[in-house]
Amino acid sequence: MTFKKIMGAIGPPLIFGAIFLGIWELIVVVFDIKPFLLPAPTAIWSEFLERSDDIIEATLVTGTNALIGLIFGVVFGVAMSFVLMRFQVANELVTPLAVALNAIPIIVLVPVFNNMFSSTTEVPRQLMVTLIVFFIVMVNVAKGLRQVSPVHMELLRSYAASPREVLVKARIPNAVPYLFTALTIAAPAAVITAFVAEYFGGRQNGLGYSITSNAAASRNAASWAYVIGACTLGLIFYLVAVGLEKVLSPSQHSTKQQSGGLAPGGASA
């Protein structure tokens, strides 16, 4: 990718971000808004530089929990999607249960997990991330495995293809773009879930706890400095997910770019 293409991709967001921060700073200064109500971007950046070591440490903790939960969620979600595709009874039983479980608020589930495991472990947060990612991946990949073009299915049947050959030659290739769409949704969702789960007990070492503790002490600029860490972490996860799609499935990524939209299944997540 040439420098011109890179700037064409990141230039508009950077310009918009600079304008937004400039307006934010101007509003705080002109209207003399107190720091405990809304800190200025310059104050937030100053706190970020001053607390950079602590922010990096907290970001690594939250990022590790998000990554572990993301990996397990993707693995279990893909595995379950194959089960749902193969057994209609399992699809009818598991899908409503997964929907109901996903509808339960984090504030309810995390305290339950904290009571199940030691307060010194990160398992409750990782388990919460796994559940969120599992649902997103399962719904999308199962849809991709089922919604194969009838023309392709008829062609394979005309060649007397076995169920295994249909799976390998039609269903799995069709599910690949659904998987990457689910991954681009699940990656930032994993980060959000990881640090929100820190609000409700457990070890006091991640971004979520740092944000709430500083906000409770009216150190809003410091709280926003940790928010920068959370935003950066979410962006990294998203970009890695997009990068994996470009590397592992370049033809699918090219097709999506030409069509100007997401691959099928994005809306279902």
| Mean pLDDT, the chain, integer | 82
Q: What is the pLDDT of residue 126?
A: 92
How far apart are alpha carbons 240 and 246 in whole angstroms?
Answer: 10
Q: What is the CATH number of domain 44-259?
A: 1.10.3720.10
pTM comes to 0.81
Q: What's the average pLDDT block by block, 10 residues per block, for the chain (269 residues)?
A: 60 82 89 84 91 92 94 94 82 77 78 80 90 91 83 72 75 88 92 87 82 86 91 91 81 46 37
The whole-number pLDDT of residue 57 equals 93
Distance (Å, rounded) from C-alpha 267 to C-alpha 71? Answer: 22
Closest CA to 147 of 115, 174, 114, 116: 174
Question: Residue 266's pLDDT is what?
Answer: 37
Q: What secondary structure letter does DSSP report for 170?
A: I
Rounded to whole angstroms, how far apart are CA atoms 58 and 60?
A: 5
Residue carrying structure tokens 């990068």: 243
- Specify the pLDDT at position 157: 74
Q: What is the pLDDT of residue 75?
A: 95
Taking residue 166's Cβ as centre, other Cβ atoms within 10 Å add up to 16
DSSP string, 14-72: HHHHHHHHHHHHHHHHHTT--TTT---HHHHHHHHHHTHHHHHHHHHHHHHHHHHHHHH
Q: Residue 153's closest CA among 167, 142, 141?
A: 167
Number of Cβ within a 10 Å radius of residue 224: 21
Kindly report, residue by residue over 141-157, the tens digit of the pLDDT.
988 888 777 777 777 77
What's the pLDDT at 84?
85
Cα dihedral angle (60, 61, 67, 69), rounded to 10 degrees?
-170
- SS percent in the chain: helix, strand, coil, step 5: 80, 0, 20
